[in-house]
Amino acid sequence: MASVEAVEAVDRGGFRTGVPEHHPVKEVPRALRRLVRRGPAAEKDCHPLYSCLFAQGGGLPSVAAAALPFLTALASDPANGARVTSSN
C-alpha cells in the first residue's frame, strides 16, 4: 500500500488538474490522504479526488499520472474495501 508519506513526496509543481481554477493540484494529496485514513469508503468519499482528475471534454490532466500509483495501491488493498457505485 502506498504510504501517506509517499503521497507527500511527489513533486506536483509541473502538474495540473482538470479544472485548476476550482481544484488546485494541492487538493490531490489531500483527497488521497482522506481515502487512506478512512479505509473502506463510500462513493461520496471519492468525489473530491474525481473532481481533481476529471478533465472537461475528455482526456486526463497531468496530475492523474502522478496519482495513478496511489489509486492502484488503494484499489488493490483488500483492507480498503471495494469502491464501486451501487446500482440501487
Tens of pLDDT along the chain (88 residues) come to 456 677 778 887 888 888 888 889 999 988 888 888 877 766 777 888 888 888 888 888 989 888 888 888 887 877 776 555 455 5
Angle of helix 43-53 relative to helix 63-76, nearest 10 degrees, comes to: 160
